[in-house]
Amino acid sequence: MKLKNFIHNSLIAGLLICPLLFAGCTNSVGPNDKPNDNIKVVTDLTGTDVSMKKEINRIAIVPIPWTSIVYAVDGSDKKIVGIHPSAKKSYEASIFKTLAPDLENVNSSFVDNNFNVNFEEVAKLKPDVVIIWDYQPEVAKKLKELGIPAVSIKYGTLEDIQNGIRLLGKILDKPEQAEALISYHKDSEAYFKQKNASALPNKPKVLYLQNKNLTVAGNKSVNQLMITMTGGENAAKDTKGSWTKVSMEEIMTWNPDIIILSNFDSITPDDIYQDKLEGQNWSNIKAVKNHRVYKAPMGIYRWDAPNVETPLMMKWMGQLIQPDTFNDYILRDDLKQFYNTFYHYSLTDSEINTILNISINNTPTF
């Protein structure tokens, strides 16, 4: 009888303990479960539900542009504990350093230039959440094993940026700021669609050059979309992919009217005008003959890539490519207003000149 009672009681205890054990081993909350008061569930851009602390105070960021986007949504750099080394390089060369001085000493060694995560280093940062790329499921799995929530983002289109901003609003509990930024982006898209510059009869050929190695924006790049929406034609429109290395001969055949130089490389208009690049001859290209080679602007991040300031990049491109069509705004005023509204920072004329690369580009009209 005693043995029977012992077995009976043991079974009941086991049934009571098992759910507790399983609950302690998962980092997600089921649809019928009542979430802990200190836990929230956020659905990332791959559709994965991720459980994390309700109040996020420490965030590590693998994707390069997302450091600046976290800052824009949160209105502060205080929660950022780790960033990509390329994001740090961009920070050092931009006005972001003025707006977010505390990032000067932020960790940028927990991830390498190829987005490989050092899990020992990231654990030392004690992040409440880590932002990763959507193509890094193994990283998410490993972080989960370490008890660190990871949210995945998609990147490459204007819509991806808006969806990512909304996701950050949920993570950082800043939905109003996130929606305000999204509205700004959507209003910009509507403006450019209404202009319908892609239908203009005379569209200059625009070459978007990423680096000295002749890597150009191809037909899958968001840069092609921005060129089209601002009244140009991508000189490399028949080049497959987002960023593709081409030859000088191909560029000479395209003979672009305008060349835009990326901030992912130190290349300048002067390098092109004076043929400083070994093995390259730019002297017979229309854009060079007409002095229409421009370094892209750089705000709190490189304007080349989709980012929180992309609407401003498109306004810059519009007045560069089709000034007669895009003549109903003053870019400098819009830039000031954006920084005042979203960063609570008043730009000086000198800072605007630096952002727009006025001196390098010799474009005093901006």
- 29-180 and 195-361 share one CATH topology? yes
Mean pLDDT for the stretch of residues 261-289: 95
Contacts of 103 (CB under 8 A, 6+ apart): 67, 77, 80, 83, 88, 91, 96, 97
Hey, what are 171's tokens? 């993570």
Hey, what are 214's tokens? 């002749």
The predicted structure's pLDDT at residue 156: 80
Hey, what are 253's tokens? 């055949």
CATH superfamily, domain 195-361, is: Nitrogenase molybdenum iron protein domain (3.40.50.1980)
| Partners of 233 in beta bridges | 205
Hey, what are 38's tokens? 């200190």
Mean pLDDT for the stretch of residues 227-249: 95
Predicted model pTM: 0.88
Mean pLDDT for the stretch of residues 59-75: 96
Q: Which amino acid is at 209?
A: L
pLDDT tens for 140-171 read: 999 999 999 999 999 888 999 999 999 999 99
Q: Sorting pLDDT into bands at 50, 70 and 90, what band is 321?
A: very high
Contacts 24+ apart (CB under 8 A), 182-186: 184/311, 184/338, 184/342, 185/158, 185/161, 185/310, 185/311, 186/162
DSSP strand pairing (215-217 vs 150-153): unpaired
pLDDT tens for 90-109 read: 999 999 999 999 999 999 99
In angstroms, rounded to a whole number, what is the distance separating the alpha carbons of residues 362 and 305? 23
In angstroms, rounded to a whole number, what is the distance separating the alpha carbons of residues 342 and 73? 8
Contacts of 319 (CB under 8 A, 6+ apart): 326, 327, 331, 366
* Average pLDDT taken over every residue of the chain: 90
Return the half-sphere exposure (C-beta side, CA atoms, 13 A cut-off) of residue 290: 10
Say which range, 112-121, 153-162, 172-181, has the weakest mean pLDDT: 153-162
φ/ψ (deg, to 5) at 276: -85, -10
Say which range, 28-42, 156-170, 219-233, has the weakest mean pLDDT: 28-42
In angstroms, rounded to a whole number, what is the distance separating the alpha carbons of residues 179 and 163? 10
Domain boundaries, the chain: 29-180, 195-361
In angstroms, rounded to a whole number, what is the distance separating the alpha carbons of residues 69 and 305? 12
Hey, what are 117's tokens? 């995560």
CATH superfamily, domain 29-180, is: Nitrogenase molybdenum iron protein domain (3.40.50.1980)
For tokens 């998962």, name the residue.
26
The predicted structure's pLDDT at residue 27: 42
